[in-house]
């Protein structure tokens, strides 16, 4: 488990640890054929119980953390083209309304690119998106990358605005070249927001050499972190770091690198402890009497309707990179997750659409006992996402 697989896991564990929060970590369930492509060391799971037990075991064995959070699964499929796990079906419909309070979406853009169904902001009282990955840097490396990156930038902003109340830019996976000596860690990456490996190196008492860049601003407070502006400064700082000894961390700085402190900062930034006052629904106002806030909400609702319409069209979904036939879980995923297979046979689709007055027929999954959410848990070079459901 690396990158954003570990970060949502620790976030859920520490949000639930020593608090009265009811936290559920939601991670993807893959069929065996996808598991063998994704999980390292030939690890596979034959049941949800086995998978859940492994996650708790890993947390206790590797980090000595015991927490009372729950784990549940959403149906996912692995995309070889994107090297990512993508969600299957409408996630929000299978989350009981009585537990839909606060949702933390790790990788919200990844989660909502192909989302078709109820809006997250309608389902949950508060939705917080945690952005980990700079997808633009990925795309720029592909053919016609600059054009794709330009379009993706606006698509990401669009879906995040539609589905999240608040967004935290918290890139925690470093994708660029890094060098690690016995006491010196070099990370010249400028595509990240916060890099886990840099934090780990500082916590281990190493000297860190990194670029003077907004992505490294958090590490400026550490005396063992040296930042460069030019290639000449990089060489000078590296040569100096090789011969000097790291300074010992103070208790305050060591605490700043802990998951306890990270959770405290996240709770404050996401305003999890602040009550949200629900506004009374008012009757529609005439156009001339609408405030700027009313206009913004109207535009957002129209955008959400447009996205939901396009994401429900199979041809459009595939054109934008979705895995074919993932509007609903297939028979195998339904069986493994204990879901009702209510898919509409292809021959009956036209009749079903006519019977629904032109609306898109959508199979309702009867899963009152299963809460499903999230998207993206990266394993090795593979990327996927996760989410936390919090009931205060």
CB distance 227 to 208 below 8 Å: no
Residues 6+ apart with CB under 8 A from 132: 3, 4, 7, 106, 107, 170, 171, 172, 173, 193
What pLDDT band is residue 355 in, cutting at 50, 70 and 90?
very low
Asked if the model's pLDDT at residue 177 lies above 60, the reply is: no
d(CA 172, CA 4) in angstroms, rounded, equals 7
For strand 126-131 and strand 102-106, is the pairing parallel, antiparallel, or unpaired?
parallel
Token representation of residue 159: 């879906």
Considering only residues 234 and 7, tell me which one the structure prediction assigns the higher pLDDT: 234
**Would the CA dihedral through 237, 242, 243, 249 be positive or negative?**
positive
* Chain centroid to CA 158: 16
Section 378-385 average pLDDT: 42
CB distance 188 to 194 below 8 Å: no
Burial classification of residue 390, based on how many CB atoms lie within 10 Å of its CB (0-12 exposed, 13-18 middle, 19 or more buried): buried
CB distance 180 to 200 below 8 Å: no
Considering only residues 21 and 180, tell me which one the structure prediction assigns the higher pLDDT: 21
Asked if the model's pLDDT at residue 83 lies above 50, the reply is: yes
Each residue's pLDDT tens digit, 106-117: 889 989 999 999
d(CA 369, CA 97) in angstroms, rounded, equals 12
Asked if the model's pLDDT at residue 36 lies above 90, the reply is: yes
Tell me how crowded residue 147 is: count the other CB atoms within 10 A of its CB. 11
Q: Please state which of the ranges 15-29, 37-51, 73-87, 168-182 shows the lowest mean pLDDT.
A: 168-182
% pLDDT > 70, the chain: 78
Using alpha carbons, list the distances in angstroms from residue 37 to 1, 34, 135, 262, 332. Answer: 14, 5, 22, 32, 17
Tell me how crowded residue 318 is: count the other CB atoms within 10 A of its CB. 14
Residues 6+ apart with CB under 8 A from 125: 100, 101, 102, 276, 278
What pLDDT band is residue 2 in, cutting at 50, 70 and 90?
very low
CB distance 66 to 55 below 8 Å: no
CB distance 324 to 318 below 8 Å: yes
CB distance 376 to 76 below 8 Å: no
% pLDDT > 90, the chain: 43
For residue 286, the model assigns a pLDDT of: 63
What pLDDT band is residue 385 in, cutting at 50, 70 and 90?
low
Asked if the model's pLDDT at residue 283 lies above 70, the reply is: no
Asked if the model's pLDDT at residue 46 lies above 80, the reply is: yes
d(CA 84, CA 193) in angstroms, rounded, equals 21
Residues 6+ apart with CB under 8 A from 291: none
Across the chain, what does the average pLDDT equal?
79
Tell me how crowded residue 250 is: count the other CB atoms within 10 A of its CB. 11
Residue owning tokens 């564990």 = 13
CB distance 360 to 312 below 8 Å: yes
CB distance 1 to 9 below 8 Å: yes
Looking at the DSSP bridge assignments, the partners of residue 22 are 391
| DSSP-H helix ranges across 101-209 | 108-112, 120-123, 135-140, 145-163, 196-203
């Amino acid at each position: 488990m690396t990158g954003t697989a570990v970060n949502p896991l620790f976030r859920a564990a520490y949000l639930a640890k020593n608090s009265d929060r009811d936290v559920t970590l939601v991670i993807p369930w893959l069929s065996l054929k996808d598991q063998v492509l994704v999980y390292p060391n030939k690890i596979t799971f034959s049941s949800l119980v086995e998978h859940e037990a492994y996650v708790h075991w890993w947390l206790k064995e590797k980090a000595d953390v015991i927490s009372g959070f729950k784990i549940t699964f959403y149906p996912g499929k692995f995309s070889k083209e994107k090297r990512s796990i993508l969600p299957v079906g409408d996630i929000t419909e299978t989350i009981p309304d009585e537990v839909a309070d606060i949702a933390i979406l790790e990788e919200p853009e990844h989660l909502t690119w192909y989302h078709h169904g109820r809006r997250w902001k309608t389902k949950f009282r508060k939705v917080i998106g945690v952005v980990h990955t700079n997808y633009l840097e990925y795309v720029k490396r592909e053919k016609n990358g600059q054009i794709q990156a330009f379009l993706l930038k606006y698509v990401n902003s669009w879906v995040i605005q539609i589905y999240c109340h608040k967004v935290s830019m918290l890139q925690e996976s470093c994708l660029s070249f890094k060098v690690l000596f016995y006491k010196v860690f070099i990370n010249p990456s400028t595509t990240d927001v916060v890099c886990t490996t840099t934090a780990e190196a500082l916590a281990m008492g190493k000297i860190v050499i990194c670029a003077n860049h907004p992505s490294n601003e958090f590490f400026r407070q550490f005396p063992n972190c040296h930042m460069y502006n030019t290639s000449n400064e990089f060489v000078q700082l590296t040569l100096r770091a090789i011969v000097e000894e790291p300074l010992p961390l103070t208790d305050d700085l060591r605490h700043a690198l802990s998951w306890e402190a990270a959770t405290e900062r996240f709770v404050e930034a996401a305003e999890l402890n602040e009550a949200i006052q629900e506004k009374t629904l008012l009757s529609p106002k005439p156009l001339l009497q609408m405030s700027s806030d009313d206009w913004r909400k109207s535009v957002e609702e129209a955008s959400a309707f447009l996205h939901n319409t396009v994401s429900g069209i199979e041809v459009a979904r595939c054109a934008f990179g979705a895995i074919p036939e993932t509007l609903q879980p297939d028979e195998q995923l339904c069986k493994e997750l204990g879901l009702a297979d209510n898919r509409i046979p292809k021959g009956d689709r036209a009749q079903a659409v006519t019977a629904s007055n032109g609306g898109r027929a959508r199979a309702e999954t009867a899963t009152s006992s299963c809460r499903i959410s999230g998207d993206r848990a990266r394993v090795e070079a593979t990327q996927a996402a996760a989410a936390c459901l919090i009931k205060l």
